[in-house]
Structures are given as structure tokens and as C-alpha cells.
Amino acid sequence: MKPEILERVIYSPEEIAARVRELARQIAADYRSGGGRDPYRRPLLVVGLLKGALPFMADLTRAMDIPMEYDFMAVSSYQGGTSPGEVRILKDLDSPVGARDLLIVEDIVDTGHTLDHILRRLKVREPASLRVCTLLDKPARREVEVPVDYVGFTLEENLFVVGYGLDYAELYRNLPYIGVVKPEYQER
Ligand code: 5GP
């Protein structure tokens, strides 16, 4: 049953699965072709941003036929009082990333502050390469410029969406589709 907060479904499970398979093929081909990659370097380290990237990362990586390891980071934006865009690290990576190829997997890039913060933190650890894959992108809302290498779907309008990892007050992450939240339920 469709939750009361939802206005409409924008991406069905079938549409998501098809796009995720396409992305996976493209990413795996890019890493396979290597761009001068040293074959003795350690496997790709896929870094999922908790919690929103969970279903996307699971589906994406299972469709990528290349050696890889998983790691995770959890971040949260400061609420209220502090300056907007400030980001707090709740969980850092388990693995050292120096000289490794890193692929960040994100649910959605909105203002770009979260990703900007993460990229800055990771760059100083000197990975061999650092790429970003996001399921959804809202370029119209960008406040800081961030490099995004792979995008599942671009949202042109300022829509607040839930499902397939994305939450509304921690709920609805498990919806198999992506839906738009009704304006009356949106905080902004
Ligand atoms: P940014 O730092 O780019 O502004 O925000 C990124 C984070 O904001 C995302 O990881 C996500 O948690 C949240 N976010 C931004 N837009 C949406 C949206 O449309 N729906 C949901 N559920 N979360 C969003």
C-alpha cells in the first residue's frame, strides 16, 4: 500500500533495476580498462554512505563483475544552531585508503555540502583515485561544486523523495520504488 505521505512514484523498481545495471556495467568497464591502473594495487574499495546508500550499493556492486572490498562511512548534518552545511562524522572508514582506488556510493547529492566534506576528508589520505557515484542528483540545489562521476537519475525540480534507501524521519527506506513526498509533508 502506498504511504499517505506520497504524492506519486517517480521511479519504479523495474526502472531503478535497469538504470542500476547500466551504471554497474559502465563503472566496472571503466575500472577494468584501468587508465594505467597498476594490476598489483589492492582491489577497488567501495565506500557506502550510511544509511541511504545501502540498497543502491547492494544492487550496484552485485552487478559489477570486478574485485572489490566494502567499507562504510556515516555522517550527519548538524541540525539547528550551527552553521548550515556543517557535517559530523558518525562512523569513519575501517580501512586505510592510501594508494587505493575509492568509489564513494551516495544516495543523493543535494546542496553538495555532505559530499564536499567527505571528499576533503578522504583526499588528505591520498587515495590513488577517488570517484563518486550517486543514485540521484539535484543539480539545481547545489551550493558547493562537487565532482560527481556517475549519476543514476537527475531530478530537475526541487522534489523531496523517499524510498530505495532514502528516508522521511527514518521511515520508508525499504520502499522498493522512489516516490515524491506531498508538499504538505515537506519541511522546506
Ligand atoms: P547535501 O549535503 O548534498 O545537501 O545533502 C545530502 C543528504 O541530504 C542526502 O544524503 C540525504 O540524506 C539528504 N537529502 C537531500 N535531498 C533529499 C531528498 O529528496 N530525500 C531524502 N530522503 N533525503 C534527501
Q: What is the CATH number of domain 6-31+41-185?
A: 3.40.50.2020
How many A from CA of 33 to the centre of ligand 1? 32
Residue 86: what pLDDT? 76
The pLDDT score that the predictor gives to residue 10 is 97
Give the chain's end-to-end CA distance (angstroms, integer).
26
Nine-digit cell string for 138: 539535484
CB atoms within 10 A of CB 54: 18
The predicted structure's pLDDT at residue 33? 86
Return the percentage of the chain with pLDDT > 70, whole number: 91
Query: For residue 76, is pLDDT > 60?
Result: yes
In this prediction, residue 78 carries a pLDDT of: 63
CA of 180 from ligand 1 middle (Å) equals 13
Which pLDDT score, from 0 to 100, does residue 186 have?
A: 85
Quick: pLDDT tens for 19-44.
999 999 999 999 998 755 565 678 99
Protein residues with CB under 6 Å of any ligand 1 atom: 52, 107-115, 160-162, 166-167
Residue 3 has pLDDT above 60, yes or no: yes
pLDDT of 134 > 60? The answer is: yes
Distance CA 111, CA 108 (A): 10
Q: Which range, of 31-45, 110-124, 144-158, averages the lowest pLDDT? A: 31-45
What's at 176, amino acid-wise?
Answer: P
Q: How much is the mean pLDDT over the chain? A: 92
List the alpha helices (DSSP H) in 41-165: 54-62, 113-123
* pTM metric for this prediction: 0.93
Instruction: Note the pLDDT of residue 96.
Output: 93
- Confidence at 2, pLDDT banded by 50, 70, 90: confident
Task: Tell me: cis bond preceding 123? Omega within 30 of 0 counts.
Answer: no
Q: In a mutational test of the pocket of ligand 1, which residue from 108, 162, 185 has the highest number of ligand atoms less than 8 Å from its CB?
A: 108
Alpha helices (H) along the chain:
13-33, 54-62, 113-123
Residues 135-163 have a mean pLDDT of 95
Which element (helix H / strand E) includes 152? strand 150-154
137 catalytic, yes or no? Answer: no
Q: Which member of 59, 107, 110, 137 is catalytic?
A: 110
What are the structural domain ranges in the chain?
6-31+41-185
